[in-house]
Amino acid sequence: MRTRLFTLACLALLALPAVAQEYPKLKPGLWQLTRSSDRGTPAGGMTMTICMDEALQKEMWDMGLGAMKGMCSKTDFHISGGKGSGEFVCNMSGSSMHSKASMVVTGDTGYRTEVDTTFDPPLNGMAKSHSTVDARYTGACKAGQRPGDMLLPNGQTMNMRDMAAGRIGGSLPPPGAPAPGRTPPAPPQK
């Protein structure tokens, strides 16, 4: 279950224009992302929402770049005039993943990304895939939502910042406090 949640969160992260050199600035508020794929998504796709602000978008951009540097030998994405394209070569579980992406941005309130990927050797029996992400601004974040809160297709809410910090769900603790569910270290014995 935790792996599935991590995968869904990563899909949301990768759905954003995270690897562009100068990423498009998206309108702060609630965004709806619908991912469709020729592999394992229900008819109509999987839909999730995320509450975003400008700081979170920058954090996700930096996180995306950092993750790709560790596993990708090629990360080439350029965007100009609302259109983007890119090519990525990454190692995923011993398979070379070669992706070509195209993106169309509609001002600061929407975008569509299409990605065609081949796997060599096939990854879990999959040799190629095609996926699409349609994202659109839907208005202000709901009362009580924090930037980074995602409502997943299964109805569960988790926070991207908490996930990046190694916590699933919950609030960020005050500085110096242990993360939720973790016991602080015992004082040294004399």
Query: Are the beta carbons of 105 and 84 closer than 8 angstroms?
Result: yes
In-domain check, residue 182: no
* pLDDT for 165: 79
* pLDDT for 160: 86
In-domain check, residue 120: yes
The sheet with strand 29-37 has its strands ordered as 72-80, 83-92, 95-106, 110-123, 126-139, 29-37, 46-52, 149-151, 157-159
In-domain check, residue 56: yes
In-domain check, residue 49: yes
* pLDDT for 20: 42
In-domain check, residue 180: no
Please, what is the Cα angle at 151 between 62 and 182, to 5 degrees? Answer: 70
Residue with tokens 């991590």: 6
Nearby residues of 182 by Cβ (< 8 Å), 6 or more positions away: none
Q: What is the pTM of this model?
A: 0.74
Beta strand pairing call for 29-37 and 46-52: antiparallel
- Nearest partner of 61 among 2, 8, 18, 111, judged by Cα: 18
Determine the structural domain holding residue 153 and report its residue range.
2-164
Please, what is the Cα angle at 129 between 103 and 148, to 5 degrees? Answer: 55
To the nearest 10°, report the CA torsion of 129, 133, 134, 139. Answer: 160
* pLDDT for 11: 43
In-domain check, residue 109: yes
In-domain check, residue 58: yes
- DSSP states of the chain as a string? -HHHHHHHHHHHHHHS-TT-TTPPPPPSEEEEEEEEETTT--TT-EEEEEEE-HHHHHHHHHHHHHHHHHHEEEEEEEEETTEEEEEEEEEETTEEEEEEEEEEEETTTEEEEEEEEEEEEEETTEEEEEEEEEEEEEESPPTT--TTEEE-TTS-EEEHHHHHTT--SSPPPPTTSPPTT-PPPPPPP-
In-domain check, residue 9: yes
The count of structural domains within the chain is: 1
In tens digits, what is the pLDDT along the chain, a chain of 190 residues? 333 333 434 444 444 444 444 667 899 999 999 999 887 666 678 899 999 998 888 888 777 767 777 788 888 888 888 898 989 999 888 899 999 999 999 999 999 999 999 999 999 888 999 999 999 999 999 999 999 999 988 899 999 888 877 765 443 333 333 333 333 344 444 4
